[in-house]
Amino acid sequence: MPLQPFTLKLALPIGVSFYIFQTISYLTDVYRGEIRAERDFGIYAVYISFFPKVMQGPIERGKKLLPQLHARHAFQSEQACYGLKLMAWGYFKKLVLADSLSVYVNQVYNDLPAYKGFSLVLATFFFAIQLYCDFSGYTDIALGSARLLGINLTQNFKAPYFASSIKDFWGRWHISLSSWLRDYIYIPLGGNRVGKVRHALNIMITFLVSGLWHGASWNYILWGGIHGSYQVIEGFFPWNAKTNPFQRNKHCHFFLSLITVPCTFLLVCFAWIFFRAATIPDAIYVLRNMFAGISHFSTYVQDCAMQMGLTFTHLMYNCLPMILLFLFDLASLKTDVIAFISKQRFFIRWPVYIFLLLVILLFSEKGVSTEFIYMQF
């Protein structure tokens, strides 16, 4: 009897790509002599399938997680409280922002011929925020639940949309994957210890593999190639503190960031079009039509509101949580926001906690699928 597609779908293990990458890193590290082979099968099984991270990472290295699994862990209330607060922030990002924005993103990208102009721009911007909140929200929940058990997992996101370059972006976005690609593909290929042409080729191969990891589709491969091209081109403009005297000056660095951060975000959003569109022709449609009618700007914006059914109330409903996200990520560039709030007096920190819980309860999108985007990868 032939297998039905539904049966095949069920046969695919949850989180398979994440724990395959983790297994590859473990075997490679053992082969290189960087860690000793784990003799306890139970510990090894937990290392591979530790429940908070099994579906969407982070991709943990044996040298960090295995020693923690061998250690005895007594319950620590401070650690557990931090984990619960981190989980609450993750639920805020997922339920309040990601799920709410998904309504508008799916509305446009699932019926592209019906939309033109600013609707395509806004849907792409919303998708950038949705994907970040969806994936990093899961990561916060995973890290928080692991903290309850006394386990510290790898931080996977560090305010990526405040990156001042594409290289900086990949040092902040899906850190466990980007560091895995660096250590097990880019560096073995020769990294930057080769000629310029070979170095550019190494970068492109690494990012094409990143695209292929997300799915056997030309969209993802092209998305990876775009980011690889960004990095190759960026290599000719070394905007970093070691090589650029303007970056070493704090005032110049600040004003330069006002240019580089928005430009980096726009470049990342451009690449997200190929990531979100169902096919390459769909992505090309978005690029061709996203600025249609921009010469009449007021009409350009009004048409978007009519096409997407957006009112001022809807905009405020989504903008206020985004402002809160912006402020949190901005503050996190300098400090651990959750730890900072935890140190405040009772009459300061508890209103913050109650406010966040009320926002989650009142602003979370009802009747929307809560499936995480990265479940498909």
Q: Could you give phi then psi for residue 231, rounded to 5 degrees? A: -70, -35
Q: How far is CA 243 from the centre of its chain?
A: 29
* 253 catalytic per annotation: no
In Å, how far are 9, 25, 166, 189, 201 from 192, measured between CA atoms? 41, 21, 17, 9, 10
CA nearest to 338, candidates 80, 77, 156, 82? 82
Active-site pick, 174, 199, 214, 227: 214
CA nearest to 145, candidates 50, 47, 62? 50
Give the Cα separation of 342 and 240 in Å (integer). 34
> Which positions are annotated as active-site residues?
214
